Every structure is written in structure tokens, then in C-alpha cells.
Amino acid sequence: MNITLAQAEKVIAAAKAKSVELDTKMNICVVDAGANILAFVRMDGAWLGSADISLKKAKTARFFDMDTGVIGSLSQPGGSLYNIEHSNGGLISFPGGVPIKNKADEIIGAIGVSGSSVENDHAVAAAGAAAV
């Protein structure tokens, strides 16, 4: 299964709405099941440097099929994934990347969000992922 463009646009819209609710300006990226970029938006005034981070968060969430915050907790010294952020051309191991699942609970893509605190990034990503 793969996320469609129409679904990705719903994800982006829900994430943007949550970002506005939180009064933040975000870069929001959606990747398909193959971790290829499908949709991206940089809200007016969002940090330029966060665009790449949002893509890497989305890819990281899809590569490992888990929230990037979970990967972060596992990648601490002594953790089972210690230093994983150095693999795959660079991963992001802090919150803001979330797998996207369909109604059958199959992973069809992922969303990555960057531009605020990691708590806000995760909240916006989760809101986007829930739109499918």
C-alpha cells in the first residue's frame, strides 16, 4: 500500500491547521511507502533550515516504522540503536516524524515536521498522520 497524493494533501492540511492552533510556523513533509517525498509545504515565515529536517524526520519514521522520538530514546548511549542517526545518510532521532497508517493499520508513508519545539513538532506530525 502507498499513500496517495489526495491523502498526503489531507495530511498537510491537518498538520497546517494544528500548527496554526499552536501558533507555530512549520515545514511539513510527507513521504510515500518508499520514503520518497510526495508533498511538502513551508509555511510563511518557517525556518529555512527546518525544511531538510522535516524531510529527514519523515524518512526516518518510514525507514524504521516508528515515531522518531522513540528512535531517539533507543539511540542514547547504551541503547539498542546507539549512533543510528549516522546511518542512511543521516537520520533525525528526535520527535516530529510519525508513520502514516491506513485503516487496515498498514504503514503507507510518513510525515515529518520541523520548525518549533520538539513537542510542537510531534503534535503537528501526529495531527497530520491522524488525518488518513
Residue ranges per domain, the chain? 5-129
> How far, in Å, CA of 103 to CA of 123, rounded?
21
Which residues, other chains included, contact 33 with Cβ-Cβ below 8 Å and sequence gap of 6+?
A: 1, 2, 3, 62, 107, 108, 109
Q: Is the pLDDT of residue 17 over 90?
A: yes
The mean pLDDT of 125-132, rounded to a whole number, is 98
Mean pLDDT check: name the lowest of 38-42, 86-90, 109-113, 118-122: 86-90
pLDDT per position as a tens digit, 42-84: 999 999 999 999 999 999 999 999 999 998 888 888 888 888 8
Decide if pLDDT at 120 tops 90. Answer: yes
Q: Looking at the domain 5-129, which fold is it?
A: Beta-Lactamase (3.30.450)
Cβ atoms within 10 Å of 23's Cβ, excluding its own = 8
The answer to whether residue 112 scores a pLDDT higher than 90 is yes
The letter for the amino acid at 86 is H
Its pTM stands at 0.94
**To the nearest whole number, what is the mean pLDDT of the chain?**
95
